[in-house]
């Protein structure tokens, strides 16, 4: 049976959102001006904790997974435990937004919108406390550090963020510049890719550049490896399986007349399943070592696996889709058909419990396009907060009745 929220409850929630929105926007701007890098979120965590402790009836536990915070709101009736998550860290990017609240920390900014994610969750908490009588069970609010490569979700899970009480389902969102402002996009199954770093070191015999026959040409070998790696997607992996293999850094040589004895290259591998990721890694290793050997050199190949793929569970995703369909006009809800090759450590939560991750549109339709994530000009769109808070608040209120 489709979700059907009463018009009266919708009006009440919307009214409460509008009440808290000015202060929530101010909080976002303040955090935007004072960003913290991965595993350096001490000040950010302290600011969030201070805001949470102002909210009556909320249990607040800081220091979960170092800088993580878990807050719990207990409803008026028994029911499931639902979790809502926001990440908190910023990026080593020099801001170029021109905003009055731009980052005051040189070379650091919220270029991925985590300031908006924090504000969205904080606002949702403030609204939900007004509807405690409608809540069945408990709601956990997870403020997570170190999403940007630090695997903060895994650290928080290992530190018990999903226990005491055990979480039954978890939801999260990400502001998305490719969607119009306030639009909700869901996807069943794999939404975001696994992320792995590629490291290749070629070792051979360097020589004078005018006498290449006296050595092995590591630069030539490296070029042939880079070119050959493109056959991974076209020949090793099925055409319907999305992957990305990109070499992004190459370092070799000290002079124009010397063929170097070593060359190092690195890059990224993205895949939608662990099986495909492992198959790609085997292929990369085989190609690189074989090409190097054919030229009389050696190649050492290694990988660092960062995040697994973010794979949404079916029933929680169906819940989000039905919820969004009831809350918004049809044109503001989209079911995505293809994944994106970005990575997200929300995947660690989804490996442990059911849940779903969705996109919240932030694009205001400006000329030239909205700045992309990780771009110096990106800034989370405050106008999207109302839609994001509606999704979080109503998800918490409606999930216990979902069938």
Same domain for 228 and 172? no
* pLDDT value for 400: 86
State which of 307, 332, 349 marks the end of a domain: 307
* pLDDT value for 401: 81
Low-confidence ranges of the chain (pLDDT < 70): 1, 403
The whole domain housing 231 covers 195-307
Same domain for 234 and 89? no
Residue 234, domain CATH: 3.30.70.360
* pLDDT value for 373: 98
The span from the CA of 371 to the CA of 332, in Å, is 21
The reply to whether 90 falls in a domain is yes
pTM for the complete prediction? 0.95
The reply to whether 62 falls in a domain is yes
Number of compact structural domains in the chain: 2
The reply to whether 332 falls in a domain is yes
State which of 276, 291, 307 marks the end of a domain: 307
Residue 118, domain CATH: 3.40.630.10
The reply to whether 1 falls in a domain is no
Prior bond of 165 cis (ω within 30°): yes
Cross-strand bridge partners of residue 249: 266
Same domain for 328 and 281? no
Q: 192 vs 71, 122, 134, 171, 273, CA distance in Å?
A: 27, 25, 33, 15, 10
Backbone torsions φ then ψ of 124, nearest 5 degrees:
-60, -40
* pLDDT value for 77: 92
Same domain for 120 and 73? yes
Same domain for 99 and 87? yes
Same domain for 144 and 92? yes
CA 200 to chain centre: 27
Same domain for 37 and 167? yes
The span from the CA of 364 to the CA of 80, in Å, is 37
Tally of CA atoms within 13 A in the half-sphere of 323 that contains its CB? 29
Same domain for 176 and 68? yes
State which of 254, 288, 307 marks the end of a domain: 307
90, 47 Cβ separation under 8 angstroms:
no
Same domain for 161 and 229? no
The span from the CA of 173 to the CA of 83, in Å, is 12
Catalytic residues, by residue number, are: 89, 147
The reply to whether 109 falls in a domain is yes
Same domain for 319 and 265? no
314: number of Cβ within 10 Å:
11
pLDDT in tens, 340-367: 999 999 999 999 999 999 999 999 999 9
The closest of 44, 66, 84 to 155, measured between CA atoms, is 66
The reply to whether 57 falls in a domain is yes
The reply to whether 2 falls in a domain is no
Same domain for 273 and 135? no
* pLDDT value for 403: 59
374, 204 Cβ separation under 8 angstroms:
no
The owner of tokens 């490719």 is 178
The reply to whether 108 falls in a domain is yes
Same domain for 155 and 83? yes
């Amino acid at each position: 049976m489709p979700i059907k929220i009463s018009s009266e409850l919708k009006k009440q929630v919307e009214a409460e959102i509008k009440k808290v929105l000015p202060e929530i926007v101010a909080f976002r701007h303040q955090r935007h001006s004072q960003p913290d890098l991965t595993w350096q979120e001490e000040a950010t965590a302290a600011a969030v904790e201070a805001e949470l402790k102002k909210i009556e009836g909320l249990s607040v536990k800081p220091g979960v997974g170092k800088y993580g915070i878990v807050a719990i709101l207990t409803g008026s009736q028994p029911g499931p435990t639902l979790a809502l998550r926001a990440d908190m860290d910023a990026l080593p990017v020099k801001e170029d937004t021109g905003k009055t609240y731009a980052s005051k920390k040189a070379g650091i900014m919220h270029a991925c919108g985590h300031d908006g994610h924090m504000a969205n969750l904080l606002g949702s908490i403030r609204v939900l406390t007004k509807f405690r009588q409608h809540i069945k069970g408990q709601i956990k609010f997870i403020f997570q550090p170190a999403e940007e490569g630090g695997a903060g979700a895994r650290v928080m899970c290992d530190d018990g963020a999903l226990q005491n009480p055990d979480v039954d389902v978890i939801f999260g969102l990400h502001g998305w510049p490719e969607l119009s402002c306030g639009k909700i996009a869901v996807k069943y199954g794999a939404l975001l890719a696994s992320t792995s770093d590629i490291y290749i070191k070629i070792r051979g015999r360097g020589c004078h550049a005018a006498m290449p026959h006296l050595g092995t040409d590591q630069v030539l070998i490296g070029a042939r490896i880079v070119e050959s790696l493109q056959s991974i997607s076209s020949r090793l992996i099925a055409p319907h399986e999305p992957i990305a293999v990109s070499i992004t850094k190459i370092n070799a040589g000290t002079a124009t007349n010397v063929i170097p004895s070593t060359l190092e290259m690195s890059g990224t591998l993205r895949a939608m399943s662990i099986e495909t990721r492992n198959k790609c890694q085997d292929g990369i290793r085989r190609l690189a070592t074989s090409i190097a050997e054919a030229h009389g050199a050696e190649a050492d190949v290694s990988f660092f696996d960062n995040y697994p793929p973010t794979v949404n569970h079916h029933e929680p995703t169906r819940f989000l889709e039905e919820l969004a369909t009831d809350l918004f006009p049809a044109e503001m809800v989209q079911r995505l058909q293809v994944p994106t090759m970005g990575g997200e450590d929300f995947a660690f939560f989804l490996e442990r419990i059911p849940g779903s991750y969705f996109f919240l549109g932030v694009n205001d339709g400006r000329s030239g396009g909205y700045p992309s994530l990780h771009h110096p000009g990106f800034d989370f769109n405050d106008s999207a907060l109302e839609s994001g808070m509606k999704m979080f608040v109503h998800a918490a209120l409606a999930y216990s009745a979902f069938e």
